[in-house]
Amino acid sequence: MHRMTDSEFESAVEEALGCIPERFLDALENVAVVVEDEPNDYHLETLEEPDCLGASVCDNELLGLYDGVSLPDRADGYDSDVPDVITVFKGPHERCFGSRAEIVEEIGKTVVHEIGHYFGIDDARLYEMGY
């Protein structure tokens, strides 16, 4: 298992966001991207909700989670006072992938996967696309 400093991991997430085409980043409205060490009970419970679009999972480890209302599901008058949140989890990435290069690659996939949920793409389609 390879360990990254918090700063290295956060930089890898920022780098992954920097690789997203600008037209997609510009379309993200009121979305926060955060890094957490581990998923908490709320994150894990969210996965059990029937309307959960999904999350990035590896060997029963939660790598990332989109918590919000996807773009296609937003109705007129959608209240965006509270931002949607994409969370990328450091500990699960470190446990699931053996090298820094593998972790960084998977962070990129996780970020794309969770942004995909914002646009309404479900897990099955994201996995077909390699994310």
pLDDT in tens, 44-68: 887 766 555 556 667 778 999 999 8
Reported as a pLDDT band with limits 50, 70 and 90, residue 1 is confident
Question: Which two three-digit tokens encode residue 79?
Answer: 């209240």
Q: Does domain 4-68+80-123 have CATH number 3.30.2010.20?
A: yes
- Predicted TM-score of the model (pTM): 0.88
